[in-house]
Structure 1
């Protein structure tokens, strides 16, 4: 339950063995390559090209990378095309079945046995045809809509343009200028006009005018005054006949489209195979991109990286088998304060499911400790206190247990479900203590506290949990300082704060309650000594005496932040109460309409959906606010983070479950 110990390796192999070594290392999985810097100078301003180690160059393979990206695009397009028309994944049995399971060897055999290049190529061709037909149909619909505007025109517009004694115009006038247009054009004796259609704010017209200079001049003025816009209807048929022709063409194209769609659906059984191929190609691409971190000479490859120290023997055995003993390999255990060491976490059965919370905040540095097992018990306890209801906890327990039992989940999803599985026990436990069963109480059922009436007790308990939580955080800080040989700093930064805070809390409680005068007096002096210690040591890094005292007083002022931290834990009470009151309100609403025919219909609906919605809100609030208590109030006392995560030599598969 800690940060995995790491060792750095330097490996030299012959060029001919590079591809096979990388394949074997991908099966090995737990290797994090280091990008080899060929500069022999530590000055970042020096040009790398001027400082290259003689005879050593970076390994580059752009051609193979381009090729694999083309293959990935081809397979990805084929998968997308099948998925677009595949309905099988919506079936419950397919959801339960989940992704296909493969080992790395099984995946490689699939690539060799399945003709994926042919299938993906066929699908891409069909997809291109399908897209082309869709585009043609869309264009014809656009043309149809354009012609539809002129459907009342009963002559061929091309023939109108060929008339020798008259000019013909098709165009539009804004609806607000229709009166102006009609008034002015009606005064022209040698001009005919016909209104064809009104669409939104425009009126469509046919205008025929005698070819005569004076008439043309007057018509031009009419067009200008009425904002007449000439339209170019470029068809060689009567609009209605052209529309009929377009409808037939669209109908034929739709038939072709349906045939292609059926053809795509016939490839449905290839989906899971193509998804497996896609994940294989993704891993192959990773091998190519990671190989660019290597260096090479004329005959050899130089590989640097990190592996877990416990895996050194297995790693060397793998290299020895693959190279027939022709290799050079050395190991160096990571130094404690080396910030370049990649971080890999290893936790127990329960804590491992809470690692995501640590990763969301920040990975620990190599010289820190993994906070996951240190906050897991508190997280479970606080989440349950906020969700507190036996019924809600049982629903969460059953839902997660059934999902883990019957659904084939990948490792990431399995961890997420287990995370809520373990939290459900705490929700049930606190629900039992509060006597809450879907927001209701059971007569004569034992309970420790009634939240609706004993909220003051609940508030005090919440803050007490906060005190313990923060004190544990300070204790962890003390441990880390002592571990690093800084025992005096543990006294200055932890013990004095323990004295000031604990002494102050005990003093206030015993003073206000008029309890033991001896304890009151002792706690007061403990508090005073703690505060004096903070003042004298809080500014110890300053040079002058005045600055030291000023820094110490400022450090003591930090006690106000501790008070704020303690108050933050009141949310443990607040969220538990809010969820319980909403649940009670749902029950009350259902009870108000029960007892008649409408109640038989609506009461089950209100109870089921109401409680499901409240359950979602309660668990969401508990997740967010418990995380906040960990990140702000708890981590702030001992944890900094900033480590770089260890990246396994595998892609994170989404379409299959890749087993070791």
Structure 2
């Protein structure tokens, strides 16, 4: 339960084996690569950085092609349901297996085939759009049972096809009455437009056309061959043919599930190759030698050397070095805790990882957070349903490591929720046959417990601060006067409060008062360290007393443990009271549904409030006393695990044995 100890390593190997070395380190998954000039061995002018940008770009282009194919296929494959996605455990591969699958598959030809299908589908979509327009156009003239081309063969008459607004039909009749040798026929009529055939003598052509322009006649030029009905049949046949072709292509794509899975594997391979190629830019190379540096957990140093030895055929020079004081800020942070504490690391990661010379606050924060979380929900039924729901989900479904850790986090928080639910005697807002405290009548006692809880956590934070300062060189004075003084202040305050209230006849108030005065003096002395001049020391020392208000507000902040617990319990009880007023029949029908719905809402709000306010108490009231943070996460060279799960050769062997 601590920050994992790290070692810096620097390895020299022959250039001919550097690709295999990087591959081995990527498979090892436990070494972070640094720029070689930050290593232990100083590189001279004979070493130059490896420019692998061209190779990286080439690999990224290959990856882009595979990802396009993967996304393209996803549009046509049957969609798995949400439940199916949760139940499907992705297959695991080693890097060697990824390489073998990629090299033995003709994926580039497959991608080109998909691009051809994509182009054809796009062409079909355009053809369908064009044919649909033609079909709509022909539908308007399908009742004209002649080929419009005959209108161009008339010797003495002029024939026109066109449209006119329905409102202009009376005006058209009036205008055509001026020309006895004119005639029109309605081909089709919609709610707004009339489709016409017009015939008139050529001698009146100029006058008729002028009259037609005054009524908004729009001449139509028929672009097809043959009769409209025949052309319409041809268009429909073409439409049916390309729709059938489209269905055939999409049906073929929908059967490519195996190919899609293979695309995931190949995408992961090229993704890992991109990562490896980018890592090569951190190397230094001469004509024959490669220089590589990085960080590795101390416990994995021997295995790292085995990997290097195997990858280089025992032709290497490896140096390990312990962390130097000036490197502390640069050391990557990897936390290691037991199964009960590790899920709470997510809270540390959200805030800030500790620096290498700090302590991992996770095991100290976890019990306080869990107890505070439980006290803010404080219902046995709510805790039980959360615990069982997560337990069932983890048994039935597959979750990746990060999600599984988050679920375990809430499952662990459900345990103190049930514990406080038993203390309050609350089960879905109903009072259980036994209870130590009532969240309805024992408000003062619960408030006092909340403040005492906060007092203990703040005091514990000061103990950690004292320990951290005492462990550092030349910090023992600060440990006594900046942490010890506040510890004495809190102890004296507690003794003074006990002497004035519970034990007024004892000497506790006197001892507490003396300790209180000594603590204030020590606080001033501790604060004076920050001043440079005498006046500055006095000013900064007196200013340190302002932290008294911060400690008081910190203790008041813990009253939210009472407030949220009581509020959630009261809301749950109010829901039950409302449902109890229903008639018996309604109580066990609509009342049961309301019971589930209303308590589901209260459960969500209670857990959300407990999660957020619990985090606030840890980040401000607890961490603010001793924890600085600012560490960076350990990022080993490994595959991305975006598309399939990659494991080391060692883990794959263990998996197959199991």
* TM > 0.5: yes
* Pairwise CA distance, 1:652: 3.9
**Which residue in 2 is equivalent to 1:637?**
625
**Which residue in 2 is equivalent to 1:61?**
52
**Which residue in 2 is equivalent to 1:458?**
446
Distance 1:588 1:135 in 2: 64
1:261-300 equivalences under 5 Å are: 261-300=250-289
**Which residue in 2 is equivalent to 1:490?**
479
Cα deviation digits, residues 162-203 of structure 1 (max 9, x gap): 999999998999x9xx99x9999999989999997678xxx8
Runs of 5+ unmatched residues, structure 2: 652-658
Distance 2:642 2:7 in 1: 30
**Which residue in 1 is equivalent to 2:358?**
368
Deviation larger for 495-504 or 369-378: 495-504
* Pairwise CA distance, 1:582: 3.1
Distance 2:138 2:429 in 1: 63
* Pairwise CA distance, 1:69: 2.2
RMSD: 4.1
Question: Quick one: structure 1 residues 426 and 213, their matched pair in 2 at CA, closer, same or farther if it must change by over 3 Å?
Answer: same
Query: Aligned with 2:646: secondary structure?
Result: strand
Q: Does 1:95 find its partner at 2:86?
A: yes
Distance 1:618 1:432 in 2: 17
1:485-564 equivalences under 5 Å are: 485=473, 486-508=475-497, 510-511=499-500, 515-516=504-505, 518-564=507-553
**Which residue in 2 is equivalent to 1:602?**
590
* Pairwise CA distance, 1:21: 0.8
Cα deviation digits, residues 327-376 of structure 1 (max 9, x gap): 22212211244222111111122111221211111111112221111211
* Pairwise CA distance, 1:105: 4.6
1:125-274 equivalences under 5 Å are: 125-138=116-129, 140-141=131-132, 147=137, 235-236=223-224, 247-274=236-263
Q: Which has the larger radius of gyration?
A: 2
Distance 1:313 1:135 in 2: 63
**Which residue in 2 is equivalent to 1:12?**
12
Cα deviation digits, residues 521-547 of structure 1 (max 9, x gap): 221222222223223431432233333
* Pairwise CA distance, 1:380: 1.3
**Which residue in 1 is equivalent to 2:609?**
621
- Is the Cα contact below 8 Å between 2:9 and 2:321 reproduced in 1? yes
**Which residue in 2 is equivalent to 1:434?**
424
- Is the Cα contact below 8 Å between 1:537 and 1:548 reproduced in 2? no
Deviation larger for 521-530 or 268-277: 268-277
* Pairwise CA distance, 1:61: 2.5
Distance 1:587 1:575 in 2: 18
Distance 1:516 1:652 in 2: 69
Q: Does 1:478 find its partner at 2:469?
A: no
- Is the Cα contact below 8 Å between 2:139 and 2:232 reproduced in 1? no
Deviation larger for 29-38 or 451-460: 29-38
Q: Does 1:387 find its partner at 2:387?
A: no
**Which residue in 1 is equivalent to 2:68?**
77
**Which residue in 1 is equivalent to 2:304?**
315
Deviation larger for 15-24 or 607-616: 607-616
Distance 2:35 2:229 in 1: 70
**Which residue in 1 is equivalent to 2:655?**
none
* Pairwise CA distance, 1:287: 0.9
User: Which residue of 633, 638, 644 maps to 1:656?
Assistant: 644
Cα deviation digits, residues 90-141 of structure 1 (max 9, x gap): 2756632321233445444544565545555544443443344345435655
Query: Aligned with 2:427: secondary structure?
Result: coil
Question: Quick one: structure 1 residues 167 and 621, their matched pair in 2 at CA, closer, same or farther if it must change by over 3 Å?
Answer: farther
**Which residue in 1 is equivalent to 2:24?**
24
- Is the Cα contact below 8 Å between 2:78 and 2:254 reproduced in 1? no
Query: Aligned with 1:645: secondary structure?
Result: coil
- Is the Cα contact below 8 Å between 1:336 and 1:366 reproduced in 2? no
* Pairwise CA distance, 1:517: 5.4
